[in-house]
Amino acid sequence: MTASDKRSGSAFGTIGFIGLGAMGSRMIRHLKAASGLLLHDADMALAGKIAAELSAEGVPARAANTLADFAAVDVLILMLPDSNVVDQVFRGVDQSVESATGGVLSWLRPGTLVIDMGSSTPGRTIANQAVARTRQISFIDAPVSGGVGGAQAASLAVMVGASEAEFERARPLLACLGSKVIRAGEVGAGHAVKALNNLLGATILAASAEVFAIGEKFGLDPAVMHSIVDASSGGSFMSNRVWPKAILPQTWDFGFALALMNKDVGIAMALIDSTGVQTVLAQANAKIWADATKQAAAGADMSEIARQFRVAAGL
């Protein structure tokens, strides 16, 4: 990704953004090159606040109080929690691919590019693309990895499911949000690789939590053990980023919800089932995360998995 990819001016036209949670509220601040920003969220007071802050910085931004306002956009970004919400907002339906009535789709102009940047189910992403095509609208997926910190710093990894032409259209805009923008394949591929990546990350985090609990129970100092593991073959993103921030200091707050990780693991498991591949580690890991989610308090961070392993070890 070169500096020329991060264009300035109004090259992106008017951008609509729906979903201003922990990630979206940070990502939107890197899209100041748009000729206009339209913001919408379930919490419209938050949308108005962010729009006012951007306007104070000289960015033409406003809250979109109705979906009809999005008739003016050239690009619409969806940063929503799952396919149920995406389907409801985009088409006004739940798990139905038979109709395209209701939702923001009813208001979009032909030629609009819609980018689903949340963690959605690949098959339902493909279904949304098919419905969008009937209205001459492009629908692609571009989920991200890197957490709140990556959203804040515009250093996210963006994995894109799109045709080559749609990818080239979206790439300069996505480069404003992430330091690495990679085309994973056709529509649905981005969401597939995101789910599988999080399944792998969740497995590594659960395994490391178990190993560290064993080490601490034996009598090892967790900080010393971490310094060795992180510099050795057992090191990973989890040891390098999650352990120092959330687990060693026992803040249990890395910035990614336990429930969201469990959801992504579930998406990956459904994808595995669709391939017919038989798994052992993935099945065991899915149960660990599902059980941990049931035991945890609402809103718990994914680092809660390590706390639960410590408790189970009697620490």
Find out whether 101 and 42 touch, Cβ atoms under 8 Å: no
Find out whether 274 and 123 touch, Cβ atoms under 8 Å: yes
Gap between the Cα atoms of 311 and 112, Å rounded: 51
Backbone angles phi, psi at 43, to 5 degrees: -100, 90
At 309 the three-state DSSP class reads: helix
Neighbours of 36 (CB within 10 A): 17
Gap between the Cα atoms of 248 and 131, Å rounded: 47
**Cβ contacts of 278 within 8 Å, gap of 6 or more:** none
Closest CA to 172 of 2, 5, 3: 5
Taking the alpha carbons at both ends of the chain, their separation in whole angstroms is: 46
Beta strands 14-18 and 75-78, pairing class:
parallel
Which amino acid, one-letter code, is at 315? Answer: L
Which residues are marked as active site? 194
**Cβ contacts of 117 within 8 Å, gap of 6 or more:** 27, 77, 78, 79, 141, 142, 143, 144, 158
Neighbours of 267 (CB within 10 A): 24
**Cβ contacts of 98 within 8 Å, gap of 6 or more:** none
Find out whether 186 and 161 touch, Cβ atoms under 8 Å: yes
Which amino acid, one-letter code, is at 221? Answer: D
